[in-house]
Structure 1
Amino acid sequence: MANLPKTQMVTLIICNDCQHAFVTEMPLIEEVHQIVCIHCESVMTTNKDQCCVYCSYGSEKYPKMQLWDILRSSLDSS
């Protein structure tokens, strides 16, 4: 069996209003387009050029995007 690439399932979100950082789990099934800061309750929405709030504000991209980046880099190196 081939070694499957590892993806991060948690990300550190930094609120763009109060700069509070909090860790959250990312779902596998669907992208999330809004997230509420647990400190100031500001609602963060997906940036226009991103697929979800994790790619917009997180330390790690959404898991599907992580896999896409791994696939793209392996195709570029072959």
Structure 2
Amino acid sequence: MTALTASTLTCPNCGTQTTGEMPLDACIYFFDCPGCEAQLKPLSGDCCVYCSYGDVKCPPIQEQRACCA
């Protein structure tokens, strides 16, 4: 299975959606919302902001392999 690399993050504070490319071999721990400037961090139990706020989980999780956490 080939992992999807595009994911749309939705800010839980203001609802702004931002589509970005996820790295295949790294986790993104912080993301600054362009709408309200809140700094998003992974929720407890998630390895990255894409797993917490994205419509697609990060590539390591998609491929059911160890992640960066």
Same fold (TM over 0.5): yes
CA RMSD, 1 decimal: 1.2
Relative to its length, the structure with more helix (as a share) is 1
Counterpart of 2:51?
A: 55
Shift of 1:28: 1.4
Matches within 5 A, 1:1-78: 5-68=1-64
The runs of at least 4 aligned residues of structure 1 exceeding 4 Å deviation read none
Paired-residue identity, %: 31
Q: Which has the higher contact order (CA 8 A, sep 6+)?
A: 2
Runs (5+) with no aligned partner, structure 1: 70-78
What TM-score results when the alignment is normalised by the length of structure 1? 0.77
Runs (5+) with no aligned partner, structure 2: none
Structure with greater Cα Rg: 1
Give distance in 1, aligned partners of 2:59 and 2:25: 10
